[in-house]
Structure 1
């Protein structure tokens, strides 16, 4: 800085946010600005730059590729020099593009000097711990911090961890009360965590007499749009989200703070709020200037605790890395940033309950192993060791190039193997044969499944039909016996009636003529039923019955239909089996007749009839069955 000033150069310091640009004034840079405002100012002509201008870019790792490209285009147009400082292992930029890595690729690693040691930490052990976090070796760093007593997993949940952070903050303040240069900072992963911890610190500050009585509660919001109520009192510290102008009490108007600035509240009234800068200058700000343009809420937040991203660039004597919701939302870049804000010591506070819940969620269902302290710290180390660097378009091109090279190498290896097989008299490739075998195997398996289903369906149909035939035959026999009994009884009654009529006629005729003749023996009654049975037993053949003959013809027709269906089923099964044998390359199987006969011979009388064994053997299509199969059917 001194060399540039001796040369007469105009130095401008810029950073991604005003909160990170303001500390550049401590290095002697008089003109500072946020990067976006600087780019717009130069493009509009409000900021004058030229060959004698040096633009110092701080926290380069948070700058996006688009913003860096705009800066380089302005440099090409106006000729100013750029000196960029940053660490790509700290918090990453919101926009796409790893700028530091792109600079190394564009300019070469030798053109991008690196500082391999840190000078912020005063002791060698603290520098070693910070270096381990930077290299992603969180487990080793946490082991050292636990042995030093600066890492703690608070038993309980979220509120317990918040209370422990506030208690530790007060203890460290009291322990260094005699050091005028002592300062302590606190960071949290999210805005919600920062507000919760800040409210707990506010109660500790009120107990220490640094915060007065509450005066006013306002409806507030932050840069993310979160809504909450903010209670204000003299002594409170608040964070700004915009560049803010004020009317200074010592006269004049001007800028009192920027986005990310933390100011102290001196007074609160209905018209506005009086704020004090770090330099001790008081300024009055109206509520209208603090109102959000969309919802009208006041854009203020508690300022005792910052998020890790907002705290990048600050330095304090001691620092507390508060993670009341656990380490699940903190990766390696944020972990290294939070663990390197201090000069003397850094404290890590996490929630034991939150870490245990994450361990249980990551385990498999049914894993009943207890979660111990080692599991808790292993989970913290796993989270803080993650370093998901952003990928650029060049990275995707490199991956595509590597994929192409790998494919080409694999193709060459395959060609060499094919040529070696061809030289040995073997086929060049076996992929086609393997695919054919797999397809044939799948086809055979599907055909077998279909055949099994078809045979099962046929067997069920045959069993149902056989049951119906058996029931029909039993009914027909019962009906036939009833008809025969009815016919015989009717014929016997008719014979008895005719016999009685004949006897009556004979008696009447004898009395009428009174012919003198010898008196004959009285006629004996005729047994008609015995008469007709004797007539039916002549020649050893039963007397023909019309109803029985009709029933017999119906049964023969039903049996013929069953025989036709069974013949069709057996023909289909033979065709399917023949197709399977041809597709699988096996020799044709024996005819169905021989296979069924072999099954019938091998089957024992006690073995249950399976669907494929109980299908009757057909001699012809006319419905004639074999002996054993007819027994199985009936």
Structure 2
């Protein structure tokens, strides 16, 4: 029995939980294409988070399994985040073979939370939002800066009551994650947790953009690429013990060294060893995560920064990461701006503030919308009825012509 998932972090969790060999899907596919004999008639391949697989990757796995006479078990939820690559791999398989459905939610400990998450996943966001609001877990903040502050305040309150609790702050975009991380660092500096010499360099973000990052002792960092020598994969986290910046001579470029604690193991490395093709280290802060990066994770508490960009798939994942409680923090101004933009042109003006009921109604409608991946089959199936209608129209014209 072997296993795979689209992300190395989830694959490693499978390895640790099941005690079997597990690798990222791209790694297995690369080895199969290189001609390695990985599968045979006795192999069972478990694919976790299969809903994230593109049709191309799903096809590669199915071809390899079929050719080897092996067995494949696909585990995934088509209501969660969709594949980045082209085509919905899991959905295409589910159309062709009978699927077993597991509808019971076991992660959340409170019945109301399980019911609310089921509602989010089914496109019924209004009662789900009401359930969070009734328990004081839907916070409306007056703008982006206030929402960041509210999210960090919520995290601090959780840690004040339970220092050992795992807390995950989520946002839709990398830009919002960066804003939360910068604000978190300022608080940690004031508390003396981040201290001493600080180094700065240009790094690559998870989306491939460029960002300036500053690090010091006490910082929490996340590796955004795999490095076997360091023993890290995309998503691995560490705590910085010390940083230094040196130059061999006045004419040489300075070299940064980071000493970090990676799951109790201390190591020193140059961030340039993690550089991408453009020379940007794939390294970031670990104070918040995108919703996409959180799929497959389980924590004690989650705090989701909500804005106008969420859809049904996003909220379904964001609201279902925590065992205990999830707090939804809403950037109310972002919703108000969208509501204002939908007014007749002569009624639009800056700074419009809408009633809570209007805001939540708009948000509920937005969070109920699905944005599923489509495939060529969807296009063909959409065209077929048009073709049949056109054919019936031609037949009717021939009948009328004959009658005349």
Q: Report the TM-score when normalising by structure 1.
A: 0.58
Q: 1:73 aligns with which of 35, 51, 63?
A: 63
- Determine if the alignment matches structure 1 residue 258 to structure 2 residue 233: yes
The 1:203–1:38 alpha-carbon spacing in structure 2 relative to 1, beyond 3 Å, is same
Q: Secondary structure of 2:325's partner?
A: strand
Q: How far 1:106 moved relative to its partner?
A: 1.4
Q: How far 1:410 moved relative to its partner?
A: 5.2
Q: 2:186 aligns with which of 198, 203, 218?
A: 203
Name the CA distance, whole Å, in 2 between partners of 1:104 and 1:220: 40
The 1:404–1:45 alpha-carbon spacing in structure 2 relative to 1, beyond 3 Å, is closer
Name the CA distance, whole Å, in 2 between partners of 1:383 and 1:26: 38
Q: Secondary structure of 2:231's partner?
A: strand
> Which position in structure 2 is the counterpart of 1:596?
none
- Determine if the alignment matches structure 1 residue 343 to structure 2 residue 323: yes
The 1:411–1:44 alpha-carbon spacing in structure 2 relative to 1, beyond 3 Å, is closer
- Determine if the alignment matches structure 1 residue 273 to structure 2 residue 273: no
The 1:404–1:228 alpha-carbon spacing in structure 2 relative to 1, beyond 3 Å, is closer
Q: How far 1:259 moved relative to its partner?
A: 1.4
Asked if the contact 1:13–1:29 (Cα under 8 Å) also holds between the matched residues in 2, the reply is no
Q: Secondary structure of 2:240's partner?
A: strand
Q: Secondary structure of 1:379's partner?
A: helix
Q: How far 1:120 moved relative to its partner?
A: 0.7
Name the CA distance, whole Å, in 1 between partners of 2:332 and 2:295: 26
Q: Deviations over 1:301-359 (max 9, x none)?
A: 11111111111010011101113xx22x2211111111110111111112111110110
Please, which runs of 5 or more residues in structure 2 have no aligned partner? 246-255
The structure in which a higher percent of residues are helix is 1
> Which position in structure 2 is the counterpart of 1:585?
none
> Which position in structure 1 is the counterpart of 2:155?
169
Q: Deviations over 1:358-386 (max 9, x none)?
A: 10011221237962111211222122111
Q: Report the TM-score when normalising by structure 2.
A: 0.90
> Which position in structure 2 is the counterpart of 1:96?
86
Counterparts in 2 of 1:594-633, with a 5 A limit?
Answer: none
The 1:185–1:394 alpha-carbon spacing in structure 2 relative to 1, beyond 3 Å, is same
> Which position in structure 1 is the counterpart of 2:346?
366
Asked if the contact 2:56–2:89 (Cα under 8 Å) also holds between the matched residues in 1, the reply is no
The structure in which a higher percent of residues are strand is 2
Aligned residue pairs: how many? 391
The 1:202–1:35 alpha-carbon spacing in structure 2 relative to 1, beyond 3 Å, is same
Asked if the contact 1:274–1:282 (Cα under 8 Å) also holds between the matched residues in 2, the reply is yes
Asked if the contact 2:204–2:282 (Cα under 8 Å) also holds between the matched residues in 1, the reply is yes
Counterparts in 2 of 1:320-339, with a 5 A limit?
Answer: 320-323=303-306, 326-327=307-308, 329-339=309-319
Counterparts in 2 of 1:87-486, with a 5 A limit?
Answer: 87-107=77-97, 111-155=98-142, 157-177=143-163, 180=164, 182-245=165-228, 254-270=229-245, 271-278=256-263, 280-294=264-278, 296-323=279-306, 326-327=307-308, 329-367=309-347, 371-409=354-392
Name the CA distance, whole Å, in 1 between partners of 2:205 and 2:260: 18
> Which position in structure 2 is the counterpart of 1:60?
50
Q: Kindly indicate whether structure 1 or structure 2 has the higher relative contact order, using CA contacts under 8 Å at least 6 residues apart.
A: 2
Asked if the contact 2:339–2:362 (Cα under 8 Å) also holds between the matched residues in 1, the reply is yes
Across the aligned residues of Structure 1 and Structure 2, the Cα RMSD in angstroms comes to: 2.3
